[in-house]
Amino acid sequence: MLWHEERAQATLEFALSVSVFLLLLFALLDIGRLVYLQNALVAATQEGARYLVAHPTASVSQVEDQITRRVVGFRPGELSIHIRHPAAHEVEVEATYVYRSVVPLPFFDGMTLRARTRMRY
């Protein structure tokens, strides 16, 4: 084999291996982002429920403001918040968010994240 053929082969192998490595790296970062957003959604519903327990006469928009201030990294308009009073002296805050993957992974794009918190007062 000639020297320039070996060099071309090494360049091709490097290009293929780097592209696979970068795909795996960005997929791992995207999965980390997914976990972060799920945890942020849970914390936001907890904050909204706490606010409702502390301020039982608060309006829905006040609770939504508390929740949207808590979440960072969410696209505006993609977050859906539902507030219910399932029983006397009980509140329930539920939030849903449609996750859009940065890396085009078929399993994660369009996944719906949900969090629900129920508290009594």
Task: Supply 37's token pair.
Answer: 């957003």
> Structurally, how many domains does the chain consist of?
1
Query: Which residue blocks in the chain are alpha helix, DSSP H?
Result: 3-54, 60-70
pLDDT digits (tens, 9 = 90+) for 31-61: 999 999 999 999 999 999 999 999 988 898 9
Q: What range does the domain containing 19 cover?
A: 3-120
- pTM comes to 0.82
Asked if 67 and 45 touch (Cβ cutoff 8 Å), the reply is yes
Percent of the chain with pLDDT over 70: 95
Distance CA 49, CA 54 (A): 9
**Residue 95 phi/psi, 5° resolution?**
-130, 140
The tally of CA atoms less than 13 A away on the side-chain side of residue 7 is 3
